[in-house]
Amino acid sequence: MSVVVPSSLLPASATPVFRGRIGRVAASGHYAVPYRYRLHVAPADPDCLGIAVTHGLLGLDATLPLRPLPELPDDPDGSYDVLRPLYEASAHLYAGPAAAPVLGDDWTGRIVSTHVPDILRDLALRFRGDGPDLLPEEHRREIDALAALCADGIHRAAQRAGELGLDPAPGARRDADEALGALLAALGGLDARLAGRSYLLGDAPTLADVHVWCALVRLDTVHRWHLDAEAVRRVAGHRALWAYAQRLASRPEFARHLDVAAVLRRHRAHCAGREAAGAAIGIVDWSAGGTGR
């Protein structure tokens, strides 16, 4: 069986190396203060893209610099040479990949965190300042549930549907259909929620919108290449959801670091699987002001 999406392309949150947190006060060690921290992200990775979008929504350019990295790492294990000194300074004899994302502490020259969910929460809770409330207290459980839906019901379900769809083994087709069903159920629930609404949880974007939007970018840019044409047609049938995705893509905070071609090139550089025939038609035009297909 061909490997469709290798472990190197699993969400960065799946294998965190460092999980420091930003506290409320100086006694916590790491605390929110302007100009102390720096984010290193590769926006061609949808997980890093979510961090970049959150950074933009909070307007942190001046106080928490963001350093975009190239779409392709320098080394096959996902390492970026520019991040190697940070990793080596943060762990004695560190020999693993120096991968993005990284929330680094410029005061100490060490890494605070490489864990995507923690970085997102700390940005929203500790660095918000006068910016929007992306993690409102009354919606936190719902935001966590939607993040889990994106990870399991969209990313992993689509990955499994594509992988099993290429497997000639007995029972694989049934399992692929089951995974596709889970994906369509997740998309259908989101589509129904967005009918007549601009955002998932009210009148302004929250981290829920960041999670879902990045999941849709990954689905349309990466996963659809491994689904057959009929499956892609069914995925594309959720009109409210894809209109929402395109609407967010027209906002500068979402569009600034979005490069669909780079996401696809990053995927193709690592993907060892076969592309599914007939699935090359994109679901939505991600350019601002474009029209869905």
Half-sphere exposure of 166 (CA within 13 A, CB side): 19
SS3 52: helix
- Contact assessment for residue 12 and residue 119, using Cβ atoms and an 8 Å cutoff: no
Radius of gyration of the chain (CA): 19
Task: Name the band, by pLDDT with cuts 50, 70 and 90, for residue 164.
Answer: confident
* DSSP H or E run through 111: strand 110-113
In tens, the pLDDT along 96-134 reads: 999 999 999 999 999 999 999 999 999 999 999 888 999
Among all chains, which residue has been given the structure tokens 């087709």? 173
In tens, the pLDDT along 249-286 reads: 999 999 999 999 999 999 988 776 655 544 567 899 99
In tens, the pLDDT along 62-78 reads: 999 999 999 999 999 99
pTM of the predicted protein model: 0.89
- Lowest-pLDDT range of 12-26, 43-57, 156-170: 12-26
What pLDDT is attached to residue 280? 61
Assigned token pair, 71: 């779409």
